[in-house]
Amino acid sequence: MNDLAPVAGIHSVRSALKFGAEGVGELWLERGRRDRRLAELADLARAAGIPVKQTDRAALDQGAQGTNHQGALAWVRSAAPRLAGDLDGILDQIAGPPLLLLLDEVQDPHNLGACLRTADAAGVHAVIAPKDNAVGLTPVVCKVASGAAQTVPYLQVTNLARTMDQIKERGIWLIGTAGEAAGDLYGTDLKGPIGLVMGSEGTGLRRLTRERCDLLVRLPMAGTVESLNVSVAAGVCLFEAVRQRRTGH
């Protein structure tokens, strides 16, 4: 299993089997556990020609590395980030206005996993992040993403600011989020070709990233906290874009 990473939990394993079966090397299920959902996972694996191993809870605990496996563990080839050069190809294939998500040095794997999951649900065409000082597609990210790490193109680029310039040359408007911005998210037109730019958990957008945004907007905050978790903020912004694109206003 040296070249495989564990994906634990019934929902995450089901997603891996449904949307990335070609990358699953083996499925482990808890021996003697009576659960219809585990039987369904076994059927999915066998239909895809994936070996199914019945094993004890101790082995599952060790393989899951502290995550809740619920009696199911899939060993998958670690999802690899796409190359920066793939971006042009991705953009060339988009029929309507592109919707991108740019993450500036997001380092928490739970946040990245949640962002990928939300991006998949919102129909984001690609998630873009820097290679340095940012989390990659780790087993924890893949588990939290619940299959989205296999379905949403994730590009890690050497220079995010330069990539933003390239994106802007394609006519895509870059909109960053900042608490001090004058513009309000809900008063901003998100129907056209856009890239939403979210800052890191601690410091927000870096200076060069901020300077390359065409517009900065804030999320209206009615309470006492100053900001939202980056994955929550990404969800709010992305689904406001989805709402506008569906309703036309």
Output the known binding site for S-adenosyl-L-methionine: 199, 219, 228
Contact 148, 124 (CB under 8 A): no
User: d(Cα 216, Cα 75) in Å, to the nearest integer?
Assistant: 42
Binding-site residue set: 199, 219, 228
Beta-strand relationship, 154-157 and 4-8: unpaired
Contact 47, 121 (CB under 8 A): no
Start-to-end CA span in the chain (Å): 51
Tokens, residue 37: 């959902």
User: d(Cα 84, Cα 198) in Å, to the nearest integer?
Assistant: 19
What DSSP line would sit under 167-233, residue for residue? HHHTTPEEEEE-TT-SEEGGGS--SSSEEEEE-BTTTBS-HHHHHT-SEEEE----SS-S---HHHH
User: d(Cα 16, Cα 149) in Å, to the nearest integer?
Assistant: 9
